[in-house]
Structure 1
Amino acid sequence: MSIQDKIKEIEEEIQNTPNNKMSQHHIGKLKAKLANLRMQVAAGKGSSKGAASLGYSLKKSGDATVVLVGFPSVGKSTLLNALSGEEISPVAAYEFTTLTVIPAMLLYRGVRIQILDVPGLVAGAASGKGRGKEVLAVLRNAELLLIMGDALKLPQIESIKKELYDAGIRMNEIPPRVTVEKKIKGGIYISKQPGCQLSDNEIKSVLNEFGYHSADVTVKQDITVDQLIDHVAGNRKYVKTLFVVNKVDLLKNKKSLPADYIQVSAEEGAGLDNLKEQIYQKLGFIRIYLKPPGREPDFVNPLILPGDATVLNVCNKLHKDFKSKFRWALVTGKSVKFNGQRVGIDHKLLDEDIITVVVRE
């Protein structure tokens, strides 16, 4: 029996097993086995074609990378051209127009956002169909995914969600607060936060399936068996995601769309301003304006930093020696009580703060 046959068999067993307290241990064990098999597929095992071919080679640029994900002919290329303001990606009224990764740059609010148009996903991409492994490798390196669906074919989005989930990509999730420290002997010791619904037997069955027979386990939140498997598997990628519905101009009742789906018509240019703003907000960047001592702030070329940035991040961006030579910083903006407030290197910054870094000579 091939690995794919085993995966199908376990999926059917999970689907046909009633989900209740008595069956939770068994289902957890099946899910762990399923995760193990999918990891083997991702590693190229069980394929008659041998090792997987090399992925796409593309240099990341800009302040963040966003990848357009969708089935063929959903309008990714049209949207890429519309967002960048240039005709970079070829557009045609038939499937599989994009055969490689095509980059473009979106400039918005001083942020340079690299947008990648990858070949359309097909059913079975997580198992390598349609160059799925190469496409998924690009997705795993993105800061943000734009999952696109056709307004007249909304089930496409749910199909893509499943493909990405099967490939170990977790959309809009955060890693569970769990630690597993392997030991040579002594069995499995479990420490759980009060209220955690997972039983010790469920935890042990998952760990055993992944080869853990002695370990110290600390569960710091209420988690599901799927989250535990994700942690133990260790190859999950947690990526911010937006869901975009294209061709809404063809819909008669736009109110029927889910509230969290961003509505656009790439062909007509409708909804693009809102999409750009949503991309910017989801990436969570802040703009920091630099003010050299004795000079005016530079409002033209802001420093782009992650939303949780501190003065230390500014120092690291400016020069490798600024951290060791740091004395203090003067900050004006929303993160301080008054203009020109002196702060330390751990001070948390907010969007559009103005900063002067003072270092030793």
Structure 2
Amino acid sequence: MSKTQKNKATSYHLGQLRAKLAKLKRELIAPSSGGGGGGAGFDVARTGIATVGFVGFPSVGKSTLMSGMTGQDSLAAAYEFTTLTTVPGSLTYRGAPIQILDLPGIIEGAKDGKGRGRQVIAVARTCNLIFIVLDVCKPLKDKALLEHELEGVGIRLNKRPPNIYIQKKDKGGIAVTNTVPLTKIDHDEIRAICSEYRISNASIAFRSDASSEDFIDVLEGNRIYIPAIYVLNKIDQISIQELDLLYKIPMSVPISSRMWLNVDELMEKMWTELRLVRIYTKPRKQQPDYSQPVVLREGRATVADLASAIHRDLKNNIKGAKVWGMSAKFPGQICSPEHVLSDEDVVSLIKR
């Protein structure tokens, strides 16, 4: 592929090569993903409303950070591979119970099975947020290597699923439509990729500018899109001028886990990326309970979802709710079970 010039005459050939490469990569990682877990000592029972996994090379400070955040002892020492299994911990932040997973350090080639890297990455695929912990002395090099390892097993960091719609048909050939100009892929590449995946009749609609890799991701259907925060650890070892440069790395938070510097900013960033919604309940003719909010995930925070979170049978026994807060047009608005709630709303459920 690197020796092939990219032009209109070679686009079909390049599309076929990219599709073949994606299929071969899938065959390499298939055995590890088929088990569903990470193997003994790696996968753990899920608790809390969300899970945050720590991913990084050995000796970057993952265990020290995890111990400071949760109070859970995760063995830390001045040698590599101190953590050999997944160490779970939990913390409560703004009333939300959050599970923290300290994963063993991975090495270059982890996606191909080196250093039990597949088991570690299999656990990372199940997290709601990933902390990519980097050493500030070599952040860009390690960042590129870790992204390459995670991309190799179908984890897409800080990306949205491509807005591509595919409908297979019985006849009619490949019909391609696009609502925006396609600058990264042409129709010949699309047809070549479809041919490699044995798709001969389909309607394909591109609703955003996508590349051939994005199109292959949609066809594969097993990609995981996870937000990630780049935790640049050990800032106590660099100068102020170097620290200013680190802030130019997107989605990054410089910290020192040893001296506990700037961890508050990291926690704020974690809360923002997890997109959690706190709902305060108000029993009839009583004051709202601000001590224990019901925490829901954004996108699944309707009045009906709130009722299910309180008790699974309550959802079928409500006809609506009175709502105070940002989602209500006026205080005490009576809303339907489908009403979408906002963070820190106060809700009084109305039973049938």
TM-score (norm 1): 0.89
Post-superposition offset of 1:53? 8.1
Post-superposition offset of 1:22? 4.5
Post-superposition offset of 1:206? 1.0
Aligned residue type for 2:108: A
Matches within 5 A, 1:88-127: 88-127=73-112
Post-superposition offset of 1:305? 1.0
1:171 aligns with 2:162: no
1:351 aligns with 2:336: no
CA distance in 1, matches of 2:82, 2:156: 28
Post-superposition offset of 1:20? 4.5
Match for residue 312 of structure 1?
304
Closer/same/farther in 2, CA of residues 104 and 53 from structure 1, 3 Å limit:
closer
Match for residue 256 of structure 2?
265
Match for residue 276 of structure 2?
285
Match for residue 150 of structure 1?
135
Aligned residue type for 1:134: Q
Closer/same/farther in 2, CA of residues 337 and 183 from structure 1, 3 Å limit:
closer
Aligned residue type for 1:233: E
Aligned residue type for 2:107: V
Closer/same/farther in 2, CA of residues 338 and 227 from structure 1, 3 Å limit:
same
C-alpha RMSD over aligned residues? 1.9
Aligned residue type for 1:122: I
Closer/same/farther in 2, CA of residues 216 and 76 from structure 1, 3 Å limit:
same
CA distance in 2, matches of 1:354, 1:164: 40
CA distance in 2, matches of 1:249, 1:16: 45
Match for residue 68 of structure 1?
54
CA distance in 1, matches of 2:12, 2:247: 34
In the alignment, which of 225, 240, 243 is matched to residue 254 of structure 1? 243
1:337 aligns with 2:336: no
Post-superposition offset of 1:313? 1.5
Post-superposition offset of 1:167? 1.2
CA distance in 2, matches of 1:74, 1:248: 12
Aligned residue type for 2:144: E
Post-superposition offset of 1:119? 0.9
Post-superposition offset of 1:226? 1.0
Match for residue 176 of structure 2?
190
Uncovered stretches (5+) of structure 2, i.e. residues with no partner: none
Contact between 2:11 and 2:188, CA under 8 Å: does it hold in 1? no
Contact between 2:176 and 2:187, CA under 8 Å: does it hold in 1? yes
Match for residue 181 of structure 1?
167
Matches within 5 A, 1:10-159: 14-44=1-31, 54=39, 56-84=42-70, 86-154=71-139, 155-159=141-145
Post-superposition offset of 1:316? 2.1
1:199 aligns with 2:190: no
CA distance in 2, matches of 1:204, 1:349: 44
Closer/same/farther in 2, CA of residues 232 and 60 from structure 1, 3 Å limit:
same
CA distance in 1, matches of 2:258, 2:5: 46
Which deviates more from structure 2 when the two are superposed, residues 57-66 or residues 201-210? 201-210
CA distance in 1, matches of 2:3, 2:247: 29
Closer/same/farther in 2, CA of residues 53 and 196 from structure 1, 3 Å limit:
closer
Identity of aligned residues (%): 38
Cα deviation code 1:142-170 (max 9, x no counterpart): 00000011011211111101111111100
Which deviates more from structure 2 when the two are superposed, residues 90-99 or residues 302-311? 302-311
Cα deviation code 1:203-262 (max 9, x no counterpart): 111112122222232222221111101000111000011111000111122122142321
Uncovered stretches (5+) of structure 1, i.e. residues with no partner: 1-13, 46-51
Cα deviation code 1:26-77 (max 9, x no counterpart): 33322211111110000139xxxxxx98363311101100000000111110
CA distance in 2, matches of 1:307, 1:120: 31
Match for residue 292 of structure 2?
301
Contact between 2:56 and 2:106, CA under 8 Å: does it hold in 1? yes
Post-superposition offset of 1:266? 0.3
Which deviates more from structure 2 when the two are superposed, residues 186-195 or residues 297-306? 186-195
Aligned residues: 340
Cα deviation code 1:60-106 (max 9, x no counterpart): 1011000000001111101101111x251000101001100001112
Which deviates more from structure 2 when the two are superposed, residues 258-267 or residues 69-78? 258-267
Post-superposition offset of 1:186? 3.9
User: Counterpart of 1:170 in 2: which secondary structure?
Assistant: strand
Cα deviation code 1:104-143 (max 9, x no counterpart): 1121111111110111111111111111111111011000
Contact between 2:174 and 2:203, CA under 8 Å: does it hold in 1? yes
Match for residue 9 of structure 1?
none
1:231 aligns with 2:231: no
